[in-house]
Amino acid sequence: MTDLKDRIAAMHRSDVRIAWGFVLGLWLALIFVAIGTWDLAPSGGARVLLLAAGAVILVFNTAAIMAMLKHYRDDRDFMYGLDIKFLDEARRTRG
């Protein structure tokens, strides 16, 4: 049973790292786009509007990833246990 718990913990850690990598990538991409297109905005008001819209996207996407990770943590044993069961079964049937 310890092997299963270790495998579940490893899969969960991997998913958490990947999710935070996506969040970091989104933040960096939106910052890059904001800097790259800063001079294209026709006025100061347009810049403020674009920055506010980008901030809303960042906040909501970050919150969604955090909620997803909380759900993964709460149901970790069930979700990853099923994944491991099906992965092991697929490995057995392949040979």
Average pLDDT value over all residues in the chain: 93
Q: Is residue 95 part of a domain?
A: no
Q: Is residue 94 part of a domain?
A: no
Q: How large is the average pLDDT for residues 30-44?
A: 92
Q: How far apart are CA 34 and CA 50, in angstroms?
A: 8
Tens of pLDDT, residue by residue over 47-85, are 999 999 999 999 999 999 999 999 999 999 999 999 999
Helix, strand or coil for residue 43? coil
Note whether 18 and 2 are within 8 A (CB).
Answer: no
Q: Is residue 23 part of a domain?
A: yes
The residue segments making up the domain with residue 12 are 2-89
pLDDT of residue 95: 73
- Looking at the 3D structure of the chain, how many domains does it have? 1
